Structure 1
Amino acid sequence: MPITLVIIVVSLVLFVYYKVQQAKAAGFMEKRWYSSKGSIAVGLFFISFGINAYNSLGSQIAAIVAVLFVSFGLVNVILGTRDYRRFLPLARKEVEEMKKAETEN
Structure 2
Amino acid sequence: MLLILLFVVSLVLYVYFKVVQARVKGPLEKGWYSAKGSIAIGIFFIAFGINAYLTLGTTIAAFVALLFVAFGLANVYFGWKQYRKLLPLARKEVEEQKRSESSES
**1:98 deviation in Å?**
0.3
Q: How many residues align?
A: 104
- Residue 29 of structure 1 pairs with residue 23 of structure 2: no
Structure-1 residue corresponding to 2:87: 88
Q: Which runs of 5+ in 1 are unaligned?
A: none
**1:46 deviation in Å?**
0.2
Deviations 1:56-79 (A, max 9, x none): 111000000000000000000000
Q: Distance in 2 between matches of 1:68 and 1:43?
A: 12
Q: TM-score, normalised by structure 1?
A: 0.98
Instruction: Classify the secondary structure of the residue corresponding to 1:50.
Output: helix
Structure-1 residue corresponding to 2:73: 74
Deviations 1:26-45 (A, max 9, x none): 10000000000000000000
Which 4+ stretches in 1 moved above 2 angstroms?
none
Q: Which runs of 5+ in 2 are unaligned?
A: none
The sequence identity of aligned pairs, in percent, is: 61
Paired residue type of 1:76: N
Structure-1 residue corresponding to 2:59: 60
- Residue 9 of structure 1 pairs with residue 21 of structure 2: no
Q: Distance in 1 between matches of 2:49 and 2:27?
A: 33
Paired residues for 1:35-50 under 5 Å? 35-50=34-49
Paired residue type of 1:59: T
Q: Distance in 2 between matches of 1:65 and 1:3?
A: 21
Q: Distance in 2 between matches of 1:34 and 1:68?
A: 25
